[in-house]
Amino acid sequence: MNVQDSQLSAFRAEAREWLDKNFPKSLAHRGDEYFDIAPRYPEGEDWAAWRKAMCSKGWGTPTWPTEYGGGGLTRQQTLILRDELEKIGGFIPLTGIAVSMFGPTLLEYGTAEQKQRHIPPICRGETIWCQGYSEPGAGSDLASLKTRAEDIGDNFLVNGQKIWTSGSMHAHWCFCLVRTDTSHKHEGISFLLIDMKSPGVEVRPITLISGKQSFAEVFFTDVKVPKENLVGGLREGWTIAKRLMQFEREGIGARRMTVGELRPLDEVAREYIGTDAEGRIADLDLRARIVRHQMWERAHRLTVARVADEAKTGPSEATSVLKNAASHALQTRGEMLTEIMGFQGIGWDGDDYTQTEKDSMKQMLQNKAHSIYGGTYEVQANIISKRILGMLDHQ
């Protein structure tokens, strides 16, 4: 065993002992409930205690630098930590945009003052952030965004409208793409941090086809934003925005289904459809499709692990591959559940359907967003063909 190996096994022993002492047994295997209500945090003593313990240790954000409240762990140590967590049904109690997308980006592009101000509260799980990217006229063509930030001396004056801003109803802060220069498209964009309590910010929730209100529109009317809240230089916003979107896709590509029917499809199918004399799911065509779906899902998980293994520094274009593969897996599963549950699977409300049945339908509908947000399936295909396959290289 070399020095590095023995240090790692010492870390494993230390992590195991600490987790054994601090992880509330009552929360074992309950990480999914937790993520489902993001960006809010669940109520209850054990939840609070677990969050507090992990955050004071810095392990809520294990790879972030200790000077800002992170854990300062190496990639290998983080893998060990996750491994030890998994063994006891544990989970990292911080989630959401701030941890998965904004924090890593600010650590790369923010000034020391900006990091000192914003990163520690994220590590403590205190601030909720939302993402001011899409606009009514700027969806897939994000760089055509129009929200203006005008230089008025010490402040920017922001006017415009953002849409599909998830979690904005609860958010304390918004990282926002704004136009500071109208003469250039991509190069006219800047990256601005806006306090959601500022006068002139208005949030209007949007009801989706699933009945959920997880997204909202955000209106900015003469909102004053201090100049110190500009990340990177003026007109450098697009570069930062793209980096952040890589972190975003990485998160989306690895996401699991969290509500509705969570059991393996074959189990659900045996219950709703029954089996033949040989014990096979009575619908043989469906049975064959369940197999192929499970194989795809398994291979997708293996790819998530492989990409993490191969990655030396953060996410790459491979995240576009993972995101599209995940969209396919999630949406196929949602559709198949509806098919399997039959008449019981098409309920919306009322006592004729179980909660799981109703949630499964809503999840199927909600999942349609997976191939739209964070860059549509087609935009990801553009990125793969352009950046990985170099299909635009010979123009």
Partner 1 sequence: MAVLTEEQTMLRDGAQDWVTDRAPVSAFRKLRDSGAGTMDPALWKEIAEMGWAGIVVPEEHGGSDFGLTGMGLVLEEMGKQLVASPLFISGLVAATAFRQMGSAAQQGEWLPRIADGSAIVTLAVDEGNRHDTARTALTAEASGSGYVLNGTKTMVIDGMDADAMLVLARTSGAPGHSAGLTLLIVPTDAAGIERHGLATVDRRGHAKVTFSGVQVGPDAVLGEVGGAHAPLEKVLDVARVGLAAEMLGMCQQAFDTTLAYLKTRVQFNTILAQFQALQHRMADLFMEMQLVRSAVEHAVREIDAGGDGAEEAAILAKAMASDFANKMTRQMIQLHGGIGMTDQYDAGFYIKRSRLLEMTFGNAAQHCERWARMRGY
Residues that bind partner 1 (CB under 8 A): 264, 266-267, 269-270, 275, 279-281, 287-288, 290-292, 294-296, 298-300, 302-303, 305-306, 309-310, 318, 321, 324-325, 378, 380-382, 384-386, 388-395
CB nearer partner 1, residue 28 or residue 288 = 288
Q: Which is nearer to partner 1, 157 or 273 (CB)?
A: 273
Whether the CB-CB separation of 72 and 66 falls below 8 Å is answered with yes
Question: Nearest approach, Cβ of 273 to partner 1 (angstroms)?
Answer: 10
Smaller CB separation from partner 1, 13 or 302:
302
DSSP conformation class of 144: G
Phi, psi torsion values for 352, nearest 5 degrees? -75, -10
What residues have CB less than 8 Å from 5, skipping those under 6 apart?
none
Distance CA 44, CA 33 (A): 13
Instruction: Give residues with Cβ within 8 angstroms of 21, minimum separation 6.
Output: none
Q: 217 or 297, CB closer to partner 1? A: 297
Q: How far is the CB of 76 from partner 1 (least distance, A)?
A: 12
Query: Between residues 33 and 378, which has the closer beta carbon with respect to partner 1?
Result: 378
CA distance 375 to 317: 13
Whole-angstrom distance, CA of residue 143 vs CA of residue 95: 27
CB of 93 to partner 1, least distance (A): 29
The least distance separating partner 1 from the CB of residue 264, rounded to whole angstroms, comes to 8
The tokens for 246 are 């890589």
Q: Whose Cβ is closer to partner 1: residue 10's or residue 302's?
A: 302
Closest to 152 measured CA to CA, from 263, 227, 228, 60 = 227
Smallest distance, Å, CB 370 to partner 1? 15
Tell me the backbone φ, ψ of residue 88, rounded to 5 degrees.
-110, 10
- 238: nearest Cα among 163, 196, 201, 184: 184
Rounded least distance, CB 320 to partner 1, Å: 8
Residue 223 contacts residue 199 (beta carbons within 8 Å): yes
What's phi and psi for 257, nearest 5 deg? Answer: -75, 135
> Is the Cβ of residue 303 or residue 331 nearer to partner 1 in the bound state?
303
- Nearest distance in Å: CB 103, partner 1: 27
